[in-house]
Each structure stands twice: as structure tokens, then as C-alpha cells.
Structure 1
Amino acid sequence: MAKDRTPDKSRATGGGATRSGGRAGGRTRPPTQVVAQQRPWGLIAAAIAVVVFAAAVIGYAVVQVREADALRVDSIDEIAGAQVYDYEGGLHDDGPIEYTESPPVGGEHANLWADCTGTVYDADIRHENAVHSLEHGAVWITYDPDEVSDADVETLAGLVEGVSGRMLSPYEGLDSPISLQSWGHQLKVDSADDERIQQFADLMTYKSDSFPEPGATCESPAFLADPLLESDDAAATQ
């Protein structure tokens, strides 16, 4: 006769043994790892730097615009000391010409014009050729080399280089340190830092209705390659 079997308690409890500190049966879960979220401080710093830089650039641009607006004039009458003369264009003569104003601002002139594509000359160019450039709408800035420093010449050159319709040259015997000419207009100043220089240049470069030949080019490759000088005329008359 079969005997009733009783549960083997030792097996039910895993042989009486406990795991991991007396906990009976099952598997012990590993402790949960808590990972702290890292803030991208490098990206945040870079973004702030970009914002600060952009604000500085915008601020600088605003200041420059305000300064330009402060210097802007709409009429030659707004520039103190500027002189206005009445000349007709179209009269050509390749010989030496006596001019009333010095530097000249209009009248008869040579057939070939001086290059005025933002050109900086280091010698006194022939005046008859320069006047023809004025007829094309150029502004001609001149200076007395005995009265103006190299630094001042650099300042003046900064207003000319790369700007079509402008040219710069020394002018022997000038009665002021600096003189600016456009067709029928002139301004003489004592300092390269005078704000009227930029006012005159900005207003009169290719100013519509102020010169005889609108649309005429300032390019003159032949003159640029071999500029004619005022000293050449002086030597020929001696």
C-alpha cells in the first residue's frame, strides 16, 4: 500500500539555503543606477558668444550708419566754404591752357581725360587732362605735398581708392593744404580730418545734373599706363 508523500520542505526552500542575505528564492535585482543629466555647457557658452558677437556687429553698423547720416548733405550750399562756378563743357584743346581757378574746375581741356576710377597719383598730373575727368563727373582731390604729411595722404587716399569717379594727386603751388574739385565746384580745407572733405566727395561724385557729360566713363587705360604730368608742360615752355 502506497504511502502518502509529503512535500520535501528542503526542496521547496531550495534546500533550506537563502541567497543574498537570507532572501529566499528568486533572483536579486541589481541596484538601480541613477544617471544625472549633463547640461551642454559648451554649447550654451558658444551660443552666448555668438549672440554677443552679433549684437556687437549690429551695434557697430548702427553707429556707422548714424555717423554717415550725420555727415550727409543734400546740397553744395550745406558745405561751408564751397565755391560754385559756371562753366560749359565740350571745348577741347590739347595745348597748354590758362585757368582762372587753381586748381581748375572747368573750361577748355584736353581730349584725353585722366583715369578717375579711384586712382591715386603720386605726381602732379596735367591739369588739362584732369579737367576733362571733371567733365565726366569725377571729384579730383589735390594736396600740397609740402604741407600735407604722409599720414594725411593715406587718409585722403582712403576716400579715393576703389571708388569710381574719384582721383587724388599732389598739386604743386597749391594755396591751401588740400583742395577738392568737381565740375564747377571747389572746396579748400586745411586738414585731412576735416569732415567737409567726405561731404564734398560723397555729394559731388557723379552728382546728377552737375556735370556736362553724364554716363561718360572714367576709365582711361592709356593715361593710367603713362600719366601725363604738369611738369612736362612746364619743361616744354622753357
Structure 2
Amino acid sequence: MEPKPPRRRGRTTLIVGVAALLGVVAGTATGYTIQADRAPTALPPLSQQGLAYPAKALPAGTKVTPLYEAEDSRVRTDGDLRKLLLRRPPGVREAPQDYIADGWSPLAFYTSVADLPSTTFGYLAGLDFRRVASTSWDQARDHMTNIDLVQFRSGPNMGAKDLFADQTAYSESLGGMGEAIRNSVAGYYWVFEADHEPGFLPHHARALAQRGDVVVDINIFDSKPIAATEIRDLAERQLERL
């Protein structure tokens, strides 16, 4: 009986995009250079009609009702991010991974399998990386699912937006334009062509989405073809929890 090939981890998918990621950095720098040569543009008034909350000024002393949890996603994502991860299906066993510790993936672990670990580490740290909640499970003989919720701190950097754009560009370089995830402003999924490199599971599907300061990264690997409905369903159900 031949030994089973080692499973390809979803972490590799994220880190391999470092070349595309550095391309995004270069493009951003070029944009800043062009903007620096332009005359300054007057900013619109900060107080714009229809953008304030509450919409109309209230009498002094009036108590303002806070936003509902559904209206303010940070009410959820500022808590224990691990609780927002999809639960593995009943009867399916957890797949221990060396980059996951108690449901978290510290930045050093998260970038340790990169082709350029220090470069990737520095880039994500520069984007105000905050934390990653991760889960991984085995389903059937050679069917692995990895889910990562990558969160960035609030600040001048738009880390989640930049990471989502980089990884989307990288996935498109492998599999063309992704299919849009239903009810998602920024979310796509792919089922890539089989890659029969020795030592790796050949079939791979991926979903990426951005929701506020969190990037959802879902990867499925299998020895057999993966249905588009499976990765799409996982992505939709994961987004419902954010």
C-alpha cells in the first residue's frame, strides 16, 4: 500500500502570493508619487447631509440609541474571533496544523512557511496586522478544509483591503476571474485546474472575502475534483457569521 501524499495546506496559498503582494506595494507607491505632484484638492465639508448619525440634530440631553449589532460588525469582530469561525461538520475530525495554536495563528506562525517569511512578516506587520483565527478539518480520505479570519487594527492603513486585493489578484493569476459570493460586496471563489505536482493534493478551491477589518480566506484541497457549490456554500455561511 502506497503512503498517502502529504496534504497541501491553505497557508501556502496565502504566502505564495507574496510576489503579487509586493507588486501591490509598488503600485501604491507609484500612486502616492503621482498624487504628490498634483495641486492640492479642497476637501468637502466634514458634516455632510445624510451621513451623520443620528441623521438630524437632537435636543441637548437626548439619549442616542446605539447601533444594532448587525449594523456595527465590530461589535462581533472585537470579541473572540474564534467564535465566528464555521464549526466543522458533525463527525468530522479536526486536522492539527503546526501554524494553529488553540484556534489562533500568530503572525510568526502565519508567515513561517512563506518563500520569503521575513518579507511577508514585515509587510503584514506594516499593515497593522492584528490576529488570525484559524480552523482546519479532514473530511473523507483526502479532503481538507482550512478557514482563516485575518484581522487588522483600525488606523490609517487599510490592511484588510490591501490583503484582499493582493490575494484576489494572485488567485486570478492562477484561475482567472472568480465567481462573486452572493450577498458580498467584496468576495469571490475559484475552483482551480488540477495541479499534479508530486507530493501535493492536486485539486484546490479557494474563497476570499473582505468584511470590514477582516479578510476571510477559505481553502479546500482534495485528491478528487471539488464542486464549486461546496466552496461557495462555505463562503456564504462563513460570511453570515461576521
Which TM-score applies when normalising by structure 1?
Answer: 0.26
Which TM-score applies when normalising by structure 2?
Answer: 0.25
Structure having the larger proportion of residues in strand:
2
